[in-house]
Amino acid sequence: MNKTYLIIGGTGGIGQAMVEQIIETNKNSNHSVLIFATFHRTVPNIKADNVHWLQMDVGDEESIAQAVDTIRQHSIHLDWVINCVGLLHTDTSQPEKALRQVETEFFLQNMQINALAGLLIAKHIKPLLSKAERSDGTPAIYATISARVGSISDNELGGWYSYRMSKAALNMGMKNLSIEWGRSLKNVCIVVMQPGTVNTQLSAPFQGNVAEGHLFSPAYSAECLLDVLSGVTAAQSGSFVDWSGASIPW
Ligand SMILES: NC(=O)c1ccc[n+]([C@@H]2O[C@H](COP(=O)([O-])OP(=O)(O)OC[C@H]3O[C@@H](n4cnc5c(N)ncnc54)[C@H](OP(=O)(O)O)[C@@H]3O)[C@@H](O)[C@H]2O)c1
């Protein structure tokens, strides 16, 4: 089946690996694949005829709307949308080890990029997802990379207030959306995913305690996540799963 993807954050560690993996998997396929991929500050280095790059700042609703408008000029539908954007640290702020380090600006930045953006993207892409041509019966997908540390019941370590709270908020937002779209869209699956601990700039300062063999390459993580997504059904909409497809408690 011909398929149209939107990879948001396509120049990040996992996002770029997603774009590469989709190109590679479909290289010798008879079906046509169209990939829209977004970048923020990092200029993309993947060039392929079926990949269209768009700039998008997910912290700016106007920027999201403009990118979606551009997509609409090329394609009237999207089959899979995967949001690979995320923020854990910035040039000036690190995730908090203790309450005394919590600062309003960094907290709100986490909430905006990790939580609110997922809702705003959904708001603008809904018309394109609703027109997905699902002739093979599989659902259209709206997936967002979350993080296991956004699980409230799994939290035994504490710390990382802004990141943990923003990922928990993202999870609630996507669960809520799955209920709303479950009523208004016919065949769509909304998923939040834990990609494993992956060797990217986001995790680089925190890889010291990762047990041997547990640090994934972006390529391996992307391959696993895409494999999980290829097997989901609309009945699984509103789930929180890891790279192996195992369910994570909220
Ligand atoms: N790596 C891990 O171990 C791990 C573990 C659990 C969950 N995750 C989650 O996995 C996702 C991908 O992370 P990653 O490891 O691939 O990190 P990454 O390499 O740092 O990629 C993050 C991406 O987010 C983009 N981004 C940041 N702010 C943005 C904004 N305002 N607008 C648009 N894009 C923006 C970055 O673009 P610019 O650099 O151009 O700003 C970058 O492309 C994140 O949601 C992260 O929380 C990662």
Summarize pLDDT for 213-246 with one digit per residue, the tens.
899 999 999 999 999 999 999 999 999 999 999 9
Locate the ligand 1 atom nearest the alpha carbon of residue 9 and give its number.
Answer: 43
Packing angle, helices 161-184 and 117-130, rounded to 10 = 20
Ligand 1 binding pocket includes 203 (Cβ within 6 Å)? yes
For residues 146 and 84, the answer to whether their CB atoms sit within 8 Å is no
Q: Supply the pLDDT for residue 236.
A: 96
| Strand, coil or helix: 215 | strand
Ligand 1 binding pocket includes 195 (Cβ within 6 Å)? yes
Rounded to the nearest 5°, which phi and psi values hold at 245?
95, -5
Domain ranges of the chain: 3-242
Q: Residue of the nearest CA to atom 8 in ligand 1?
A: 147
Residue 21, burial from CB neighbour count under 10 angstroms (0-12, 13-18, 19+): buried
| Strand, coil or helix: 110 | helix
The percentage of the chain sitting over the pLDDT mark of 90, rounded to a whole number, equals: 89
For residues 74 and 35, the answer to whether their CB atoms sit within 8 Å is no
Q: Residue of the nearest CA to atom 44 in ligand 1?
A: 86
CB-CB neighbours of 19 under 10 Å: 25
Distance 13 CA to ligand 1 centre (A): 7
Q: Which of 60, 91, 192, 75 is nearest to 125 (CA)?
A: 75
Q: Residue of the nearest CA to atom 10 in ligand 1?
A: 145
- Each residue of 84-114: pLDDT tens digit? 999 999 999 999 999 999 999 999 999 999 9
Distance 137 CA to ligand 1 centre (A): 31
Q: Residue of the nearest CA to atom 1 in ligand 1?
A: 198
CA 227 to chain centre: 15
Ligand 1 binding pocket includes 57 (Cβ within 6 Å)? yes
CA 87 to chain centre: 12
Distance 98 CA to ligand 1 centre (A): 23
Locate the ligand 1 atom nearest the alpha carbon of residue 10 and give its number.
Answer: 43
- What type of residue sits at position 208? G
Query: What is the mean predicted confidence (pLDDT) over 163-184?
Result: 97
Determine the Cα–Cα distance for residues 163 and 152; give it in Å rounded to an integer.
12
pLDDT at 1 over 80: no
Q: Supply the pLDDT for residue 101.
A: 98
Determine the Cα–Cα distance for residues 130 and 114; give it in Å rounded to an integer.
24
Q: Supply the pLDDT for residue 133.
A: 67
Q: What is the CA radius of gyration of the chain?
A: 17
Query: What is the mean predicted confidence (pLDDT) over 111-129?
Result: 97
**pLDDT category, 209, cuts 50, 70, 90?**
confident
Distance 45 CA to ligand 1 centre (A): 17
Superfamily of domain covering 3-242: NAD(P)-binding Rossmann-like Domain (3.40.50.720)
- Each residue of 52-68: pLDDT tens digit? 999 999 999 999 999 99
Q: Residue of the nearest CA to atom 43 in ligand 1?
A: 12
Ligand 1 binding pocket includes 82 (Cβ within 6 Å)? no
Q: Which of 46, 41, 36 is nearest to 16 (CA)?
A: 46
pLDDT at 195 over 70: yes
Ligand 1 binding pocket includes 44 (Cβ within 6 Å)? no
For residues 35 and 22, the answer to whether their CB atoms sit within 8 Å is yes
- Mean pLDDT score of the chain, rounded to an integer? 95
Rounded to the nearest 5°, which phi and psi values hold at 154?
-90, -5
- Each residue of 14-34: pLDDT tens digit? 999 999 999 999 888 878 899
Q: Residue of the nearest CA to atom 18 in ligand 1?
A: 12
Query: What is the mean predicted confidence (pLDDT) over 192-212?
Result: 94
Query: What is the mean predicted confidence (pLDDT) over 6-14?
Result: 98
Task: Count Cα atoms within 13 angstroms, Cβ side, for 17.
Answer: 19
Q: Supply the pLDDT for residue 108.
A: 98
Query: What is the mean predicted confidence (pLDDT) over 198-202?
Result: 97
Q: Which residues of 137-147 are buried (b: 16+ CB within 10 A; e: fewer)?
A: ebbbbbbbbbb
